[in-house]
Amino acid sequence: MTSGILNVNKPAGPSSFAVVRQVRRLPGVVKAGHGGTLDPAADGVLPVLVNAATRLADFVHEWPKTYLATVTFGVTSDTGDREGSLTPSGDASAVSRGRIETLLPSFTGRISQVPPLYSALKQGGEALYRKARRGEASAPEARPVEIHSLRLLEYDPIHALARLTVSSGRGMYVRSLAHDLGTALGCGGYLSALTRTAVGPLALSDAMTLPALSAAGEGWTEWLLPMDLPLREWPSVALDAVGVAAIRRGQSVAAPSSAPGRYRLIDPEGRLLAWAEVDAAHRLQPRAVFSS
């Protein structure tokens, strides 16, 4: 079974799950999932994990993400982006490039952020956006997120539009960032456009469109990236036939050194067999086995 990661250029409009459904229609795809939701109004890099690679989703989520964001000031949105109901919220005439740049350091680093009401985060076992659509007020709690870098590219004072580049860790909402920046400027703001330009090593310039993948027929696998890409920075352990048999049975093998942590386990043909963690007995315990 062919497994790996597709770097898909998601268009604005469909949900991330709709993109995954289209990938599932490709020849040879049994399972597929994405490695980080993009809102319907957003476009750009969407990692799609195919077949056995779906078991590595947590590690793709750990990759940093980079965005090109357009924020409109003086207007707010109940969803935080252009999909929602827009409401004038203040006079943006006093907003300037200098004022925005002065504020950006306070939104950089490890910060506290309240997720949008319309988000896929669950509260009481149900997605917040479902509650919001029914008119059930639910205030999500602030949570820590990390913004690695935040830079203003340009500001258009006539249309009160700011274009920014944002690099962040997992769980950060650019919609919340746009809202909070507008609040700090005293006039409100919303995310009027968003493009994700990179997820870890996946760049927008290399991403494939859905029509191109569909038109390729069985040749779509040409664009399939190695399944072990999220694990490339981990140390690896090459196993012999005896070790491979043990791992396939779900049994542990001796760890190579005293170092704790996570390891890639490689079979004699050089293929990724599993990933494992060192346990208290200094054994490599398999957490996911990819071939049988």
Q: Class assignment of domain 234-289?
A: mainly beta
Residues ≥6 apart with Cβ < 8 Å to 279: 252, 285
Q: How many angstroms separate the CA atoms of 148 and 105, rounded?
A: 11
Give the burial class of 11: count Cβ atoms within 10 A of its Cβ; 0-12 exposed, 13-18 middle, 19 or more buried: middle
The C-alpha atoms of residue 100 and residue 90 are separated, in whole angstroms, by 16
All CATH 2.30.130.10 domain ranges of the chain, comma separated, are 234-289
What pLDDT sits at residue 89?
A: 96
| Residue positions counted in the chain | 292
Mean pLDDT calculated for residue range 203-222: 96
Quote the CA–CA distance of 174 and 176 in Å, as a whole number: 5
In the chain the first and final C-alpha atoms are separated, in Å, by 11
In the chain, where does the domain assigned CATH 3.30.2350.10 lie?
4-63+201-227, 65-196
Q: Which residues, including other chains, have CB under 8 Å from residue 193's CB and lie 6 or more apart? A: 41, 69, 70, 82
Q: For the chain, what percent of residues have pLDDT higher than 70? A: 91
pLDDT of residue 139: 67
Look-up of token digits 């027929």: 217
* H-run or E-run covering 241: helix 241-248
Q: How far is CA 246 from CA 170, 255, 282, in A?
A: 35, 13, 16
Class of domain 65-196: alpha beta
Q: 4-63+201-227 belongs to which CATH class?
A: alpha beta
DSSP class of residue 47 equals E
- The question of whether 39 is a catalytic residue gets the answer yes
Report the alpha-carbon distance of residue 199 to residue 44 in Å, rounded.
Answer: 10
**C-beta separation of 44 from 34 below 8 A:** no
> Over the stretch 150-209, which tens digit does the pLDDT of each residue have?
999 999 999 999 999 999 999 999 999 999 999 999 999 999 999 999 999 999 999 999
Q: 182: part of which helix (H) or strand (E)?
A: helix 174-185
Q: How far is CA 125 from CA 15, 105, 121, 122, 130, in A?
A: 21, 35, 9, 5, 11
φ, ψ dihedrals at 151, nearest 5°: -135, 135
What 3-state class would DSSP assign to 270? Answer: coil
What is the pLDDT at residue 177? 98
Residue 156 has a pLDDT of 98
Joined tokens for residue 60:
């793709």
Q: Note the pLDDT tens digit of each residue in 225-255.
A: 999 999 999 999 999 999 999 999 999 999 9
Specify the amino acid at residue 198. Answer: A
Global pTM reads 0.90
Please tell me which residue in 39, 180, 228, 267 is annotated as part of the active site: 39
Classify residue 140 by its DSSP letter.
P
DSSP string for 11-43: PSSS-HHHHHHHHTTSTT---EEESS---TT-E
Mean pLDDT of the chain, nearest integer: 92
Once rounded to an integer, what is the mean pLDDT over residues 70-98? 95
